[in-house]
Amino acid sequence: MPSDAPHAARSAHTLTALLTEEHTLLTHLDAAFRAQIDAVKARRHDALDDATIRITELVQVLRGKQVARATVTADLAEGVGLDAAMGLPALIEAVRRHDAAEAQALRQARHAVKDQAKQTEARGEQAEFMIQYAVNLGQEMMAMARGEQAEGRVYNAHGRAGYVQTPSSIVNHAA
């Protein structure tokens, strides 16, 4: 490694370790999103609260790891004599020229993080949709129960959502 080989080697090793930790955190975050989904399905608000708290904690730790990763990436770039803005693939290539095994470990860790981040993001979007849908459905049902002009979703033959308004109450106020 041209500029500072020992420094670059340490940085590459540290970056690999940070990426591995980030992968683990993303895996736990994915599990927490699954726990949210399961809690909604089981109608367990206590489990939903627990999963949401866990997600918040994991996101905070993950952000810290990402800041550390940016710092170590800049150190690695300096060590191999490149600009950090060139991106991790260019840095990995520079590491490969001098330590193929470390470059391979770094490449694998990077791909594992990218793959897990994609999966975790999809699971998070699924949880968000499910929770938002449940909230909207609950609001619509309560509006209908109070006899308010509620908009309900209906789907046409093309699968597109539309709305229908209903003025009738489902609660018998005469009783």
Predicted pLDDT of residue 163: 57
> Over the range 96-117, which residues count as b (16 or more CB within 10 Å of their CB) and which as e?
beebeebbebbbebbebbeebb
Which H or E run contains 39? helix 5-42
**Which of residues 92 and 148 earns the better pLDDT score?**
92
Predicted pLDDT of residue 147: 75
How does residue 173 score in pLDDT terms, banded at 50, 70 and 90? Answer: very low
Q: What is the mean pLDDT of residues 68-90?
A: 93
Helices (H), 43-147: 45-80, 88-96, 100-145
> For 37-68, how does the pLDDT look when each residue is reduced to its tens digit (9 = 90+)?
999 999 999 999 999 999 999 999 999 999 99
How does residue 137 score in pLDDT terms, banded at 50, 70 and 90? Answer: confident
Q: What is the mean pLDDT of residues 94-98?
A: 90
- Judged by average pLDDT, the poorest of 61-70, 136-145, 165-174 is 165-174
Predicted pLDDT of residue 155: 61
Q: Quote the tokens at residue 147.
A: 């006899």
Predicted pLDDT of residue 161: 63
> For 23-37, how does the pLDDT look when each residue is reduced to its tens digit (9 = 90+)?
999 999 999 999 999
